[in-house]
Amino acid sequence: MLATRTYASEKDLYDFMWLDPDKKVYVLQNKVHKKDGTFYVNLGYGSGLSSTFQDTSLLHGNLGYQIAEEWAIEGLYTKYSNKSNDNLENIQRINGVVPFLRRPISNYGVIAKWSPFYGKINTFNKIFYFDWSFGAGLGKINTESNATTVSTPSTANTYNKESATSLIGKTQLQFHASKNFHVGLDIIMNNYQAPGPTINGKAGSDKLRTNYDALITVGFSF
């Protein structure tokens, strides 16, 4: 009763209300939804965040295996759909020009995922458990751009397909609705090298480009 610190294992559950409020109590939260040795599959829908002149929607899927409680290997695939927005229509109507555009088509890759944080939240008298994870890996991103025609007004604006190796970064907040069903909020980032527009027959130099996606996923583990 006089200890300034009390420790409990993951399997121990105690009521510490009787302790002095000034005392610090360190308790490892009981982890209800174990992941070690399980497979999971997620499907998601979201939006691209990187284009000023396009409204980009996406469908996403991933499949992973938890090699340990905090570590997983995950394969992912994303398919994009692009539509010109009001910004593009306005700049064409007012200034009579077409901006340089690079639009994502699809990307896929493999990442290692680390889940160092977990916790629970009481919402409407129901407890939900969640994990916060980070991932990194390599992939391929397929895009299309008007780099070869945008600087030549007399040439029709056309889009040519491109492909580049990407460094993938990911963070996910995943809520466990039940033992096997979960909902996630994901941010995925693809970093890749790609050229700028061709000017006077000279292709633009390669620069680091970044494509951000935000999405909601639903999934199952087994």
Q: Mean pLDDT by 10-residue block, N- to C-terminus, for the chain (222 residues)?
A: 50 52 56 87 97 95 96 98 92 85 97 93 84 97 93 84 97 93 97 91 87 98 94
What is the model's pTM? 0.82
Supply the Cα-derived Rg of the chain in whole angstroms: 24
Residue-wise pLDDT tens digits, 71-127: 999 999 999 999 999 998 898 888 878 899 999 999 999 999 999 998 888 888 888
Task: Compute the distance between CA of residue 47 and CA of residue 53 in angstroms, rounded to an integer.
Answer: 14
Read off the amino acid at residue 129. Answer: Y
Coil, strand or helix at 87 = helix
Could you give the CA distance from residue 127 to residue 85 in angstroms, rounded to a whole number? Answer: 41
Q: Give the C-alpha separation, 49 to 134, whole Å.
A: 19
Amino acid at 112: A
